[in-house]
Chains A and B, each alone.
Chain A
Amino acid sequence: MTDFLQLTFSGLAVGAIYALVAIGFTLLWQTSGTINFAQGEFVMLPAFFMLAGLRLFGLGLAPAFVLAIGVSLVLQGAGYKRGVVDPMLKHGVLPMVVASLGLSIALKNIVKATVSAEAQAFPSVFPDQVFHIAGITVTLADLGTLVVAAVVIGALWLLLNRTLTGQAMQAVAQNRDTAAVLGIDVQRMVLYAFCANAALAAVAALLVTPAYLAKFDMGDSLGTKAFFAAIIGGFNQVQGALLGGLLVGVLENLAAAYISPAYKDAIALVLFCGVILVKPEGLLGKQEARKV
């Protein structure tokens, strides 16, 4: 039983990172109807922004993170929306999806060519400390990851549900035309969603890079798993993406321990297939009617 609890706890920490990235998927889908297949690279880039802060400007990790958030908001938030999404979305969702796939390849190759193809060391966010609670080994890194993710997701929830801006964003997500008629600046709300996605990705980068190491392809599996997690939980629900991320993280750990580590990466895909077959809208998702 302690093994089970141990695996569940550390799975939750990994799952929280998946959830941060998965929530970004759902935010963009709800407000702008786009799927960003460069989401993994949106996690990779802030890692290199932080490295630039650490190495080029001699900053500490905290200021480097603030710098990374700032650059991400500009490039991956506003820049991505204005430079890629706005021009492409006019031509439909499919060209947008293809553009994001192209962007994913381009970003990886730019980092590979300009920085390095090799992995780069990244400082730990939390000290290597371990606690033993009721037979379970709890690492400070896992605990810290969970707390940071919970705070960030909690703040996002407050923004969306307790502020006028958040409610305006939700109104845009539910019906753009009605929101516009009500006087909501739709494009501004969409921009906020892109910026929120960029900030979530930067937080995920801070939490995941000490273990993954900063590398041009570090976002590959993270982006894919977060995409599956968002669909498993419900692509049109923020809480669905949270559930999906945590579920994938925990089940991966359990499968690795009780079946084999070799099957770990298949878990997200198996869950994804199961959910698509049984409840296509996702565990917490709502059915959406689409015009043909």
Chain B
Amino acid sequence: MKNIAALAVSAALVSGTAFGQAPIKIIGLYELSGAGAAAGTQFKNGVELAAKEINAAGGILGRKVETVAYDTQSQPGVAKGLAKRAVDEGAYVVMGPVFSGSIIVSMEETKKAEIPNFTGGEASNITAQGNPFIFRTSFNQAAGMPKLANYIANELKAKSVAVVFVNNDFGKGGRDAIVKELGARNIKVAADISTDSNQADFSAAVLKAKQANADALFAYLNEEESARLLRELRKQGYDKPILGETTLMGQKVIDLAGDAANGVRGHVGLTIDAPNPLVKAYADKYEKEFKAKSDHNGIKGYTGLYLVKAATEKAGKVDPKLLAQTLKNGKFSAKDQPGILMDVNFDDKGDLDRESYMVEVKGGKQVIATTLPPLHK
């Protein structure tokens, strides 16, 4: 009788741990105010949407996902403090920040605590520092630039380009990458124009670009600044091709810039207009949930959390260190885990590789011109 009672208690305890296990804590550090509010809000929404779906489908390895969102105010110092807080609060994974300048500072905390940290940042130096716990949700900015430079050289046959960039880690990284690629193709940088984060007035930058009389203009700024630049370019009647990498053709920029975004061309790693039924289904769900269209940052957040799910299930255990090891050099298929939307390969630095697109904005929408295969199949 005693044995039976002990057995019953053990069974109750075991079942108790199975059903009543603590949720998996995903702590998000997002730019919910300041210069990065557009990007951070999208990234957060993507994560929240994925969490809702994952929980509705039974969670990760039977455990619910609990998301927490903190506002970095687009400031690296705040982001670092919040990363420390996320570690103290027992995060399984930290999502964000999106701004490169913030993640470069904040990831030191998650690295010390050996917690995987997903970022929407695209600056090259994020993954160049040997941090085994950092993972991207989009391309390293250096990955898209050769494709764009080829387009400028071979399709546009431009001999000179005016470069406008935002003077932060993201902008400088993009500027350095495109200047290097243009140089390799003997294309002259006719003007190298630095602008500020949160800059409101772009009249001087556009005047300088017009003075340079280059064959095309390459712009690499954050969302709101991209929209202001496009509006000013349109206002001043700039009539040369305007090119960008991902952000410039993002939905948020298109919404803010209105007609001024039409005609902008470039390379994007993620777009809701991708010829992919999974992406289309995601875009519909996002719009239904948030009454706004997703841009690439929404996709980053969404696929980022689904990558956590895919890798955790592959590892078979909720263990941050094991998750990081599983992600390194990991290959994840959208067939097995539809939430990741596209097949993804990680390398040993945390950079990812997947298919991408050349697009043009027409009638307020991204229109895919070409689908480019992953760099390393």
Expressed in whole angstroms, the Cα–Cα distance for A224 and B235 within the complex equals 25
When A and B form their complex, what is the total count of cross-chain residue pairs whose Cβ atoms lie within 8 Å? Answer: 97
Number of A residues contacting the other chain (C-beta, 8 Å)?
38
A123-149, CB < 8 A from B = 123-124, 128, 130, 137, 139, 141-142
How big is the B interface, by class? 35 or more
With beta carbons under 8 angstroms apart, the residue of B38, B193, B232 that contacts A211 is B232
Q: With A128-B259, A213-B224, A257-B204 as given contacts, are A118 and B236 in contact (CB-CB < 8 Å)?
A: no
Expressed in whole angstroms, the Cα–Cα distance for A261 and B232 within the complex equals 15
Say yes or no: A261 contacts B208, CB within 8 Å: yes
Mark each residue of chain A from 223 to 265: 1 if its CB lies under 8 Å from any CB of chain B, else 0.
Answer: 0000000000000000000000000000011001100111011
Residues of A within 8 A of B194 (CB): 260-262
A186-224, CB < 8 A from B = 210-213, 215, 217-218, 221-222
With beta carbons under 8 angstroms apart, the residue of A7, A117, A124, A261 that contacts B195 is A261
Mark each residue of chain B from 174 to 199: 1 if its CB lies under 8 Å from any CB of chain A, else 0.
Answer: 00000000000000000001111010
Answer yes or no: B64 CB below 8 A from chain A CBs.
no
Mark each residue of chain A from 24 to 61: 1 if its CB lies under 8 Å from any CB of chain B, else 0.
Answer: 00000000000000000000000000000000000000
Which of the candidate stretches B29-37, B152-160, B330-338 sits at the interface with the other chain?
B29-37
CB nearest to A10 among chain B residues: B203
Q: With A14-B201, A130-B236, A217-B198 as given contacts, are A210 and B208 in contact (CB-CB < 8 Å)?
A: no
B16-51, CB < 8 A from A = 32-34, 37-38, 41
Answer yes or no: B231 CB below 8 A from chain A CBs.
yes
CB nearest to A7 among chain B residues: B207
Say yes or no: A257 contacts B38, CB within 8 Å: no
With beta carbons under 8 angstroms apart, the residue of B41, B205, B237, B260 that contacts A256 is B205
With beta carbons under 8 angstroms apart, the residue of B33, B203, B211, B236 that contacts A117 is B33
Residues of B within 8 A of A3 (CB): 211
Main secondary structure of the interface of A (DSSP, over half): helix
Answer yes or no: B69 CB below 8 A from chain A CBs.
no
Say yes or no: A261 contacts B236, CB within 8 Å: no
Mark each residue of chain A from 259 to 292: 1 if its CB lies under 8 Å from any CB of chain B, else 0.
Answer: 0111011000000000000000000000000000
Say yes or no: A117 contacts B34, CB within 8 Å: yes
Say yes or no: B200 contacts A212, CB within 8 Å: yes
Residues of A within 8 A of B309 (CB): none
CB distance from A73 to the nearest CB of B (A): 25
CB nearest to B194 among chain A residues: A262
Q: With A213-B224, A256-B208 as given contacts, are A117 and B231 in contact (CB-CB < 8 Å)?
A: no
With beta carbons under 8 angstroms apart, the residue of B208, B210, B236, B256 that contacts A213 is B256
Mark each residue of chain B from 240 to 268: 1 if its CB lies under 8 Å from any CB of chain A, else 0.
Answer: 00000000000000011111100000000
With beta carbons under 8 angstroms apart, the residue of B32, B193, B200 that contacts A261 is B193
Main secondary structure of the interface of B (DSSP, over half): helix
Say yes or no: A211 contacts B224, CB within 8 Å: no
Say yes or no: A215 contacts B224, CB within 8 Å: yes
With beta carbons under 8 angstroms apart, the residue of B37, B201, B208, B258 that contacts A121 is B258
Residues of A within 8 A of B300 (CB): none
Answer yes or no: B234 CB below 8 A from chain A CBs.
yes
Residues of A within 8 A of B195 (CB): 261
Q: With A130-B237, A211-B231, A211-B235 as given contacts, are A264 and B204 in contact (CB-CB < 8 Å)?
A: yes
Expressed in whole angstroms, the Cα–Cα distance for A116 and B211 within the complex equals 37
CB distance from A112 to the nearest CB of B (A): 6
Say yes or no: B203 contacts A14, CB within 8 Å: yes
Expressed in whole angstroms, the Cα–Cα distance for A257 and B228 within the complex equals 19
CB nearest to A218 among chain B residues: B200
CB nearest to B71 among chain A residues: A117
Residues of B within 8 A of A121 (CB): 227, 255-258
Expressed in whole angstroms, the Cα–Cα distance for A241 and B38 within the complex equals 36
Answer yes or no: B168 CB below 8 A from chain A CBs.
no
Answer yes or no: A119 CB below 8 A from chain B CBs.
yes
CB nearest to A130 among chain B residues: B237
Residues of B within 8 A of A170 (CB): none
Mark each residue of chain A from 95 to 126: 1 if its CB lies under 8 Å from any CB of chain B, else 0.
Answer: 00000000000000000100011111101100
Identify the interface centre among A119, A211, A218: most chain B CB within 10 Å of its CB.
A119
Residues of B within 8 A of A261 (CB): 193-195, 204-205, 208
CB distance from A9 to the nearest CB of B (A): 11
Q: With A119-B38, A121-B256 as given contacts, are A257 and B201 in contact (CB-CB < 8 Å)?
A: no
CB nearest to B235 among chain A residues: A141
Say yes or no: B205 contacts A118, CB within 8 Å: no
With beta carbons under 8 angstroms apart, the residue of B37, B196, B237 that contacts A137 is B237
7 nearest interchain CB pairs?
Answer: A256-B204, A130-B237, A117-B33, A117-B37, A212-B200, A119-B224, A118-B37
